[in-house]
Amino acid sequence: MPRRAREKSRTGIYHIIMRGMNRQTIFEDEEDSIKFIQTLDVYQKKCKFKVYAYCLMGNHVHLLVKEGKEELGITFRRIGASYVYWYNWKYERCGHLFQDRYKSETVEDDKYFLAVLRYIHQNPIKAGLVKELADYPWSSYREYINQKNKLTETDFALGLFSNNKAKAVEEFKAFHKVEVQEKFLDIDEKKKWKDTDAVELIKTVCQVKNCKEVQKLDKEKQSQYFDLLSEKGLSARQISRITGVGKWIVYKSLQGK
C-alpha cells in the first residue's frame, strides 16, 4: 500500500516527532543530546528553517518548526543522516537509528501553536523526569526564560503574549504551568519499568533465580532473552544495570535483531 501524502501546512509550521527505530534509545548520554542539538543548529543555518520548540526524550524528539528553503522531509533526512553517522561511529554500530518516516501534524493558527509549544515543553514532567520545567536541560524551555545561547526562535511565541519582553516571559511561564488534557501528535510508548519490577521480569523471562546469573548464560540464550526483555519495554541500559552484563554487549545484541 502506498504511503499517504503528508498534509501541507498553510503556515509552513509543523509539530514533528522523530523516534528511534523499534523504540530504540537515541540519546544514551549527555554527549548524544548535545550532538543532536548541535546538528539541529548546523542544519537550521544551512536550510533556513526555524525551530520554535524542541524536547529530547530518551527514544524520541519533539519539534515545533517552520519549513525553510527546502521541504522538511529533505531537511530532516539530512539531520538524521548526520546524527546517525556520528552515533554509529561513537557506538561502533551500523545501520538505521531513526524510524524511516517522522510523524508530523500541521499547525495552522496561533492558539494551536501555543498549545503545541506547551505540550512539547511539558513532556519531561509528564514522563516523571523532573518536577519543574526549568530543571530539564534538553528542551527549549530554558531558552525562552533565559534568552541566551539560543537555537530556538523565541520572539514569535513571546510576541503572542506581549510586546514587552519581560512581561511576555512571565506570561509564558504562567501559561506553561497550566495542565491540560488536549490531544496532540504523540507516540505509543511501552510500559516504563521500575527497577524492582524489572528484576522480577528478568528472573521470569530468563528463568533465573538471581539476575546476575544472566552473565553465565551462553551468548545465544542471552540474545534471545535480551530481545524479549526489550519487547517488554526494558532499555539496554536497564538490562545491563540489573544483570551486570556490559551495556555494549546488550546494546549490540539488540542491534542485531
CB of 123 within 8 A of CB of 55?
A: yes
- Mean pLDDT of all residues belonging to the chain: 86
Range of the domain at 236: 195-255
Q: Choose among 155, 153, 126, 129: nearest CA to 140.
A: 153
Q: How many separate domains does the chain show?
A: 2
CATH number at residue 35: 3.30.70.1290
Grid cell in block for residue 98: 531513526
Q: At what angle do helices 236-243 and 219-232 cross, to 10 degrees?
A: 120
Report if residue 189 sits inside a domain: no
For the whole model, what pTM was predicted? Answer: 0.70
Choose one of 147, 176, 205: the last residue of a domain: 176
Read off the pLDDT of each residue in 167-179 and give the average, rounded to a whole number: 93
Same domain, 103 and 55: yes
Same domain, 84 and 141: yes
Same domain, 202 and 88: no
Q: Choose among 54, 56, 38: nearest CA to 46.
A: 38
Report if residue 90 sits inside a domain: yes
Same domain, 31 and 68: yes
Residue 91 backbone phi and psi in degrees, to 5? -100, 10
Report if residue 85 sits inside a domain: yes
Same domain, 40 and 141: yes
The pLDDT tens digits for 34-92 are 999 999 999 999 999 999 999 998 888 999 999 988 888 899 889 989 999 999 898 88
Choose one of 176, 206, 222: the last residue of a domain: 176
The pLDDT tens digits for 118-150 are 999 998 988 888 899 999 999 999 999 987 768
Report if residue 190 sits inside a domain: no
Same domain, 139 and 248: no
Choose one of 125, 147, 176: the last residue of a domain: 176
Report if residue 17 sits inside a domain: yes
Largest Cα–Cα distance in the chain? Answer: 65
Single-letter amino acid code for the residue at 232:
K
Report if residue 125 sits inside a domain: yes
Same domain, 141 and 227: no
Report if residue 143 sits inside a domain: yes
CB of 74 within 8 A of CB of 121?
A: no
Grid cell in block for residue 75: 531537511
Same domain, 228 and 156: no
The pLDDT tens digits for 216-239 are 998 888 888 888 888 777 888 889
